[in-house]
Structure 1
C-alpha cells in the first residue's frame, strides 16, 4: 500500500476542522511520519493508525505546528515497546529544540530512537523504499524539505524470454549478471520507473523547492496564503496556492496536494480555484483524516 494519510492541515493556528500538521506516508513496509504537530497522536487514533509501524519521523523545522506532537509520539512508541529502531530526521541547527522535545517529560524509555540531525546543503539516507533526500528551504529558521525516490527496476517480458530460449535458473542469472550468452537484460525486459514523493512545508520560492518537486508522483506542499496576500507570504517565508501550483506545473508533478492553510480563509475552495488556474493535473485540497493514494506507477518502457 502506498498512500498519504493527512492527520492535520492547519497552519499556525488549528481550527475546529483542521488540526495542526501531521502526515503519515505508508510506502509498502516503510512508514514515515512527517511534521507531527500538536494532537498528532490523537489524530492517528481517529484515523485507525498505530505508531508501531513507524520507522522514520521527518521534521522540516521546529515551529510548534510542525513539531509539538513529537514528544507524545515518541512516548507512545516507548509505551508500545516498538521493537525496531525509529530514526528521527531534523535540522541539526535546531538540536536544542529536539533535545527538549525528546525528553519533554518523564517516562520509561523503552524504544530505540535514533537521532539523525541534518546539516549543510543536502542530506540523503537509504530506506527500504528508496533514497530519502533533504534540501534546505527558505523560512524564518532552518527548514528542510524531503523527497523519497524509489529506484527504477526492470520487468521481465515472458514472450521475449521465450524467443531467446531463456527459462528456469537462467532467468535469475540474467537478472543478476545482466547478460546470458549473447542476450542482454535490456533485450528481454522493460524498465519499470520507480515512484517518487516530495514533502515541502513553510518556505518561500527557492531552487530547492523545484529540485524537490521535479517529476514526483505526489507532491505535498504548503499553500498557506492566497494571491491576495502574496506580499505577506513573501515576507514570512510561505507560498500561495498559485505559487505551489506553478511549482507543480513547471516541475512535471503528477498529483498535487495542497495543505497548511491559514485560518484567515473560511472557504478552502478558493485554494482549489487559484491552483487550478496554474496546474491542469490532479489537485487535492487536504482535509484532516483523508487518505490520498500515490498515483499508479507509470507504464514500463519497452526498448525496441
Structure 2
C-alpha cells in the first residue's frame, strides 16, 4: 500500500507544484483522490499508467481539484480502458460530470459510473471500505477515509500439530470462530493473531471541524490540506482553509501516526516553512513534494 503525491499546490500551480492529485495503490487497485489540472502528465512523470486507475474520488468541484478529469478520461479512452470506471463525488457530481463532458467533443468514450455520495460508508469490498464525511469549505466538500479490514494470520504449523489441514475449519478460524477438533475446543487466538488493517485518511479543503478528526481517527497516514502557515491564519479563516498548525492539531487529537501536509498556497516557495510550523504541534509531520511516495506499512 503506497501513496504517490502527484500535486501539492492549491489554487495556483507553480513551476514545482501541480494541482491536487494523490494516487493510492492497494493490491490490484489504483485509487485516485482528486484530479487537478495536469494530473495525467504528472502520472506519466511518476511512471503510473492511466489505465491503472480503478476508482476516482473527488473531494469537491473547485478547479484545482478536478480540471484534470477531461484530459485524463480522454487518454484512458484512447488507451482502450476496458474496466468500468467508478467516480465518487459530493452530491450533484452526476450533473456536473455530464456538463463537463458536454463542454467538449471527443470521438473517444469511456464507461464511467458516477456516484453522488452521502456521509458514511460509500464503498465496501472484501478487503477494505471507504467512508466519506463532509468538511467546512466554501462549497460542498468531502474528505475520505480508506480502512483496510482486519485479517487473521493463521499459524498453520500449530494447526497441523492439532491435526488440522487446509479446509473449511481453517476458514472458520479466519472468521474468528472457535472450532472443535477431536472433541477439543480451539479458540482463534490459540492458532492465529489478528492483524490490524491500515488506515489512510484524506482531509481536503476545510476549516477545523469535528469531521476532520472523524476522518483522521487512528490513521496510519493522514494527508491533510495545509494551505497557510500560522502566520497567515487570517487568510485561512477568510478562505476556509487550514493552517499547518491546525492540520497538526487534527493529527494530534485523532491519534494519527504520520501527518503529510499538502495543498500549499503559491506564496510559499518550499514546504519547509509549513512543515516546521506543523511540528510545533505534532512532531511526525512532513511536507509533501510532488512525486513523493509514502509506504503505508502494517503495524
Please show how residues 171-250 of structure 1 align to structure 2 within 5 Å. Answer: 172-175=170-173, 178-181=177-180, 182-250=185-253
Conserved 8 A contact 1:68-1:101: no
CA shift, 1:246, in A, is 1.1
Q: Deviations over 1:118-154 (max 9, x none)?
A: 24x4342114641011110000000000011011011
Match of 2:12 in 1: 13
CA shift, 1:186, in A, is 2.6
Q: Compared with structure 1, are the counterparts of its residues 232 and 203 closer, same or farther at alpha carbon in structure 2 (3 Å cutoff)?
A: same
Match of 1:131 in 2: 129
Moved more, 87-96 or 224-233: 87-96
Match of 1:140 in 2: 138
RMSD of the alignment, in Å? 1.8
Moved more, 202-211 or 246-255: 246-255
| Counterparts of 1:39 and 1:111, CA distance in 2 | 19
| Counterparts of 2:54 and 2:132, CA distance in 1 | 17
| Counterparts of 1:59 and 1:96, CA distance in 2 | 14
Q: Deviations over 1:44-69 (max 9, x none)?
A: 11111111111111100010000100
Match of 1:288 in 2: 290
Conserved 8 A contact 1:135-1:208: yes
Match of 2:41 in 1: 42
Aligned residues: 294
Please show how residues 11-160 of structure 1 align to structure 2 within 5 Å. Answer: 11-119=10-118, 121-127=119-125, 129-158=127-156, 160=158
Structure 2: give runs of 5+ residues left out of the alignment. none
CA shift, 1:214, in A, is 0.2
2:49 aligned counterpart, secondary structure: coil
Structure 1: give runs of 5+ residues left out of the alignment. 299-304
